[in-house]
Amino acid sequence: MKPGLRKYARELTLDTNTANRKLIFSDHNRKVTAGKETQPYPDHPERFDYWKQLLCTDGLTGRCYWEVEWEGKVYIAVTYKGIKRRGQGDNCCLGRNDQSWSLHCSDEGYSTLHSNKRVSIRNPALKRVGVYLDWPAGILSFYRVSDELTTHISTFHITFTEPVYPAFRIRLDPFNSSVSLCDIV
């Protein structure tokens, strides 16, 4: 059995039907990068039309853990499926509403965001983040992950009312910001 949080490892799949058209998939759809060019993705009612965001395919309950590598400026989040997809309002943007909880990652450090309330965290940023969800207990925790150590960043305490979907927002500034789903060995 895998030690610690990794025993709850969950393989995720990026949902291409939700991806904004400025997002580019690579590495067998395990990596997504923000780009300048609009991609020829087909119309889909679940596609984000303004924010450079996407969801994963499966709603999660129970205990789950996953890891993400990032570059640039990104938001690593979970959201209810009902987050709005059309327009640029807060009701569509990860972390800016009561439907989603996010961790903003950049070279300057981290911050959490929920219902448009931001909390800065003075921690040197590492390029790999672990996410632990204990849905029944109402816990969503983020961790800095290195080869030697996993260090707690922040925890949300939530009374979940429905499954949550791992989600990502990738900033266009700087270009080539990206997130990659990690294989947990």
What CATH superfamily classification does 4-181 receive? Answer: SPRY domain (2.60.120.920)
160 token code pair: 């979940």
The angle subtended at Cα 8 by Cα 6 and Cα 10, nearest 5°, is 95
pTM to 2 decimals? 0.96
**pLDDT score at 66:** 98
- The domain segmentation of the chain, as residue ranges, is 4-181
How does pLDDT run across 51-90, given as a tens digit for each residue? Answer: 999 999 999 999 999 999 999 999 999 999 999 999 999 9
- Given a cut of 60, whether residue 1 has pLDDT beyond it is no
H-type alpha helices, the chain: none
Determine the longest span between alpha carbons in the chain, in angstroms.
45
CA–CA distances in Å: residue 105 to residues 3, 26, 52, 57, 161:
26, 21, 15, 22, 27
How does pLDDT run across 89-122, given as a tens digit for each residue? Answer: 999 999 999 999 999 999 999 999 999 999 999 8
Tokens 């709850």 — which residue? Answer: 8
Residues ≥6 apart with Cβ < 8 Å to 29: 13, 14, 16
